[in-house]
Amino acid sequence: MSDRGGAPVSYDVIVIGAGPAGENVAGRCAAGGLEVVIVENELVGGECSFWACIPSKTLLRPGEALASARRTPGVSAAITGPIDTQAVIERRNYMTNNWDDGSQKKWLDDSGIDLVRGVGRLTGERTVEVQLAEDGMAQLTARRAVVIATGSKPFAPPVEGLSDIRTWDSRDVTSAKEVPRRLLVLGGGVVGVEMADAWRGLGAEEVTILERGEQLLSKEEPFAGVEVKAAFEARGIRVITGASLARAERKGSDGPVVAQLEDGSVIEADEILVATGRHSRTEDLGLETVGLEPGKPVAVDGSLRATGIDGGWLYAVGDANGRALLTHMGKYQGRLAGDAILGEEVEAWADHHAITRVIFTDPQVAAVGLTEAQARDRGINVRVVTRNVADTAGASVYGEGISGTCCIIVDDDRSVIVGATFVGPVAGEMLHSATIAVVGEVPLARLAHAVPSFPTMSEVWLVLLEAAVAERGGVA
């Protein structure tokens, strides 16, 4: 981009936000022959590459590997020492490229996508103003589309004293340089349970999860939260549910955190992670200039076009539209939005029927599609088939004490699976077969011909399908 003065620079497509969702839109459009620019104020690659998916799973992997070894007879005796925490942190730094986005920037260059570093805001129809990182302003206009891909940011509850003290958010906890001796985790959702598991595995002496709801992972099947809680408590992670934080303070500027619960009890910790949810980052985008409400998710239709915008030129993908705050779903939406901008007819069907999610705790929780409660809310004639991964020979081969509930949610009128949940080691690697079954709407009678290999834990599919047939008197 050569002109950074007053004259607007024109592109076919302007993408605000260079995270995975924005990159996928930009890449799709550029590959289709359009002139594309991405506006990014932080690192190209976004939250996932530098503060979320990549560093968090890198921190979780050593504990998972160690637990797997300890469950394997003959191998457990070979474990003679603790995890090398410094080596894990160095690996985390390597995986995030030490928070340098040079390789991501090179991908943009190689794809023919321009990058403008700065804060982008809508100023009207198809126009974006950028406060440049190196000072000055740039005016951009879009001949075809503007795409909002600004992601999300953590939400902190209005607890007395919490905003006055130093806390950790999702970025702080994945980029920490040292293991806290005592960690208090506020929130029992995905970020909370994963990071409690990670830092306990890396040597934190005391880890406590405080969840105001009655169970962990409340958006998943109830048994998932129950089994994760039991596994955590067996490893020394304290889990308190049905309780809320009333106030928090630090002793001195850098002393321990004193957290008082509503029942009057007190928890003391060296660090407190606030993991109580996220909301779309749309408050400072100039949405009001095009008739939309700042600070809210941008509502979109099936082609990811913002609703209520004449001319269909504005799109929103990923966390910015609030549909599914998951990297892979944002990438999916980005690909579809790119196709729509290129003139294809698309429909983000998976957003409503087949959202995939994996929680990388030990045990893992992997799910796709609808939970039982969601299916019933939609009026589906539901049949739930539940079995345990321990019912497979593969579980015994994998190690001692392997267990975990697995269930499929069947639309009994159509005899197809509309949801599935797996709990257990490597559950995430078993999920895609369920995803294909849900997306393909494969009838159970046909699915019974998909023969799992022996001896693998994927044989839980055979156990589930045989149970489903037996429940119907031998008819799928």
Residues 40-56 pLDDT 10s: 999 999 999 999 999 99
**192, exposed or middle or buried, with CB in 10 Å at 0-12, 13-18, 19+?**
buried
Residue 169 to residue 186: CA distance in whole angstroms: 10
pLDDT higher than threshold 90 for residue 182: yes
**Which regions of the chain carry the CATH code 3.30.390.30?**
363-471
> Distances from the Cα of 363 to the Cαs of 141, 187, 420, in angstroms?
49, 18, 16
Q: Identify the three-state secondary structure at position 98.
A: helix
pTM for the complete prediction? 0.95
Contact 345, 430 (CB under 8 A): no
pLDDT of amino acid 321: 98
Q: Identify the three-state secondary structure at position 11.
A: strand
Q: What is the DSSP string of 128-185?
A: EEEEETTSSEEEEEEEEEEEE---EEE-----BTGGGS--B-HHHHHH-SS--SEEEE
Residue percentage of the chain with pLDDT more than 90: 94
Instruction: Tell me which residue of 318, 278, 53 sits closest to 174, measured CA to CA.
Output: 53
In single-letter form, the type of residue at position 219 comes to K
**130, exposed or middle or buried, with CB in 10 Å at 0-12, 13-18, 19+?**
buried
Q: Which of 103-117, 245-259, 357-371, 407-421 shows the lowest per-residue confidence on average (mean pLDDT)?
A: 245-259
Instruction: Tell me which residue of 149, 125, 142 sits closest to 308, measured CA to CA.
Output: 125
pLDDT of amino acid 1: 44
> Distances from the Cα of 210 to the Cαs of 206, 247, 266, in angstroms?
13, 13, 12
Q: Does domain 9-49+96-153+279-352 have CATH number 1.10.940.10?
A: no
Q: Identify the three-state secondary structure at position 385.
A: strand
Q: What is the mean pLDDT of residues 240-261?
A: 94
40: tokens are 């990014």
433: tokens are 């077969």
Q: Which of 24-33, 64-73, 355-364 shows the lowest per-residue confidence on average (mean pLDDT)?
A: 64-73
Each residue's pLDDT tens digit, 213-242: 999 999 999 999 999 999 999 999 999 999
pLDDT of amino acid 4: 43
> Distances from the Cα of 327 to the Cαs of 60, 176, 333, 360, in angstroms?
18, 22, 10, 14
**124, exposed or middle or buried, with CB in 10 Å at 0-12, 13-18, 19+?**
exposed
CATH top-level class for 162-276? alpha beta
Residue 23 to residue 390: CA distance in whole angstroms: 41
Q: What is the CA radius of gyration of the chain?
A: 24
Q: What is the mean pLDDT of residues 354-369?
A: 98
pLDDT of amino acid 128: 98
Residue 104 to residue 49: CA distance in whole angstroms: 10
**Which regions of the chain carry the CATH code 3.50.50.60?**
9-49+96-153+279-352, 162-276
Neighbours of 31 (CB within 10 A): 14
pLDDT of amino acid 6: 58
31 Cβ contact list (under 8 Å, min separation 6): 111
Q: What is the mean pLDDT of residues 27-47?
A: 98
Mean pLDDT of the chain: 96
Each residue's pLDDT tens digit, 447-473: 999 999 999 999 999 999 999 988 877
Local structure of residue 35 (DSSP, 8 states)? -
pLDDT of amino acid 372: 98
Residue 213 to residue 234: CA distance in whole angstroms: 21
pLDDT of amino acid 2: 36
Q: Residue 475: pLDDT band by 50, 70, 90 thresholds?
A: low
Instruction: Tell me which residue of 206, 215, 218, 219 sits closest to 272, measured CA to CA.
Output: 206
Q: What is the mean pLDDT of residues 331-350?
A: 98
CATH top-level class for 363-471? alpha beta
The Cβ-side half-sphere exposure at 419, using a 13 Å CA radius, reads 24
In the block, residue with structure tokens 């915008």: 309
Partners of 23 in beta bridges: none
440 Cβ contact list (under 8 Å, min separation 6): none
